[in-house]
Structure 1
Amino acid sequence: MSTATAVLADLAAESDQIDDWVSTLDDAGWDTVTTPEGWTVRHQIAHLMWTDRASLAAIAAGEEWDQLVHLAQQDPFGFVDTETERLVEIAPESLLHHWRDSRTRLAGALAAVPGGTKIAWFGPPMSAASMATARLMESWAHGYDIADALGIDVPRSDRVRHVCHLGVRTRSFAYLMRGKEAPEAEVRVELVGPSGQAWTWGPEDAENRVTGSAWDFALLATRRRHRVDVDVRAEGEAADDWLNVVQTFAGLPGNDPKPLADRS
């Protein structure tokens, strides 16, 4: 979809936006709960920092990466949360400093990856552009959690296209994470971005179609909103089934988000 350079520029913009939101928070602000599972703003930034560092280790492909793979094999369902809980003990000012450092170093490392190189990951290996897209998706999703909890109205930008692209590309993987096989039927995806641009994926003549708001599709695909709360529509059995399992990220899907009307 995009070169690594273009994605990295958008990733930097997403990260800087989050930085602006959290840099002036006091301790109580950093302890604001952002998810039903109890993650605070501290957890969100710690997680972003840890994933940046894990990405740097994957690019280097040395002993540190081997140790991370071993941790993942020992505790595949909990090691990421365990690492986040370890880092969340860092004081907010220091945590923010380390996150700024990790994302800066990662941008440089990704820009230096030779074209055609595949980087190992906990899911399928990725190109530098794909890894940058995955980091943008994580930043967009966790940034949304932070903004939502702090009562910030997130500016809608066309950077969300990267999140949508990843949601479309991971259709088969989303089924795999649930122990299922994706239907063979092709799905046409037609979304409208915040600027009004139309973005499309898949064959024009596909009988199965997903249409609607790109922003809302990204919320659904990052599992931040339930289907009933987004402006995304499905035509055809395969398309309808996909919207029940769509996810942009590697790993288990976790708990399904509740409809907004059911949240206390």
Structure 2
Amino acid sequence: MSHPPGRPTALLTGLLGDLRDEGAQLDALVAGVPDAAWATPTPAAGWSVAHQVAHLAWTDEAALLAAHRPDAFAAHVEQALKAPDSFVDEGAAAGAALPPRELLARWRTGRDRLAETLRDAPAGTRLPWYGPAMSAASMASARLMETWAHGQDVADALGVVRTPTDRLRHVARIGVRARDYAYFVRELTPPAQEFRVELTGPDGQLWTYGPWDAAQRVTGPALDFCLLVTQRAHRADLAVLAEGPDADRWLDIAQAFAGPAGNGRPRKGER
């Protein structure tokens, strides 16, 4: 970044605080388990607890590369495009091979450095990414979403039930905003009209997106919607409802993350 840092906006400051808290929650979960538990398989096929943390560390480092060495990041993306089905898995596997304490230290260092980089980003900064370039605030939101999603896999693997927090609002917002991306990545044409999305937050508050008078809508608990759009649970196991054929179709393909279309998770009882 060639410009002097500016003062972060209130929005970015809040996002970075939530990102820090989301990371700290997962950190506390894995820091307290014996090294052997890092090899525990998670719901993501072929990925252990160590793979999940390694992926977060790897992606934080990719974001740092994008911020500080955009040309090197462009070369990194070229490598990813050459092996779209294995690039992410290879990065996770390399990190997972490290001793757990070394991997944990790597993740801590990377996420702290990324938070500082995003905080100090000059106003108007756009960071190159695997999809469209992102603002510092959007990058913070995306990192929070991924931390929460991979943290869910870790929690499931370790038999821990996490208490939903208001931080889910960031995940839900990305899920709504990424609606059309789910169609594009499958080479489908997205619906022309917006949907109304009404979600009940952990505290009972209603979170709303889209026009109130939209012809089609999606409703349900915010937690379930976030599990759906991060593909951490099968739609049939969640209390997310659609009104209208296009909204119904969206719930079958929704994804909040960049990259190829995900395969999702099987229904309970089919695993």
Which of the five TM-score ranges fits, normalised by the shorter chain?
over 0.9
1:56-105 Cα distance to aligned partner (Å, 9 max, x none): 01111344313312211321222111111112111101100111000000
Q: Is the 8 A contact 1:118 1:127 kept in 2?
A: yes
Percent identity of paired positions between Structure 1 and Structure 2: 49
220-229 or 81-90: bigger deviation? 81-90
The list of structure 1 runs, each at least 4 consecutive aligned residues, that deviate by more than 6 angstroms after superposition, is: none
Equivalent residue number for residue 89 of structure 1:
97
Equivalent residue number for residue 23 of structure 1:
31
Q: In the alignment, is residue 100 of structure 1 matched against residue 108 of structure 2? A: yes
Q: In angstroms, what is the RMSD of aligned CA positions?
A: 1.2
Q: Is the 8 A contact 1:185 1:238 kept in 2?
A: no
Q: 1:113 is paired with a residue of what secondary structure?
A: coil
Match of 1:183 among 180, 191, 195: 191
TM-score, normalised with respect to structure 2: 0.94
Q: Distance in 2 between matches of 1:63 and 1:127?
A: 18
1:102-136 Cα distance to aligned partner (Å, 9 max, x none): 00000000111122221110111111111110000
Match of 1:137 among 145, 162, 178: 145
Match of 1:119 among 108, 116, 127: 127
Q: In the alignment, is residue 217 of structure 1 matched against residue 225 of structure 2? A: yes
Q: 1:33 is paired with a residue of what secondary structure?
A: coil
Q: 2:241 is paired with a residue of what secondary structure?
A: strand
Q: 2:217 is paired with a residue of what secondary structure?
A: strand
- Aligned letter for 2:107? W
Equivalent residue number for residue 72 of structure 2:
64
Q: Is the 8 A contact 2:166 2:202 kept in 1?
A: yes
Q: Distance in 2 between matches of 1:5 and 1:133?
A: 11
Q: 1:261 is paired with a residue of what secondary structure?
A: coil
- Aligned letter for 1:13? D
User: What pairs with 1:126-205 in structure 2 (closer than 5 Å)?
Assistant: 126-205=134-213
Q: 1:189 is paired with a residue of what secondary structure?
A: strand
Q: 1:200 is paired with a residue of what secondary structure?
A: strand
- Aligned letter for 1:73? L
Unaligned 5+ residue runs, structure 1?
none
Q: Is the 8 A contact 1:221 1:246 kept in 2?
A: yes
Q: 1:255 is paired with a residue of what secondary structure?
A: coil
Equivalent residue number for residue 4 of structure 2:
none
Equivalent residue number for residue 5 of structure 1:
13
200-209 or 21-30: bigger deviation? 21-30
TM-score, normalised with respect to structure 1: 0.96
Q: Is the 8 A contact 2:231 2:262 kept in 1?
A: no
Q: Distance in 2 between matches of 1:149 and 1:87?
A: 18
Q: Distance in 2 between matches of 1:186 and 1:254?
A: 23
Q: In the alignment, is residue 251 of structure 1 matched against residue 256 of structure 2? A: no
Q: Is the 8 A contact 2:199 2:206 kept in 1?
A: yes
Q: 1:153 is paired with a residue of what secondary structure?
A: coil
1:161-186 Cα distance to aligned partner (Å, 9 max, x none): 10000000000101111111111122
Q: Is the 8 A contact 1:191 1:199 kept in 2?
A: yes
Q: Distance in 2 between matches of 1:22 and 1:38?
A: 18
- Aligned letter for 2:38? W
- Aligned letter for 1:49? A
Q: Distance in 1 between matches of 2:141 and 2:39?
A: 28
Q: Is the 8 A contact 1:225 1:257 kept in 2?
A: yes
Aligned residues: 262
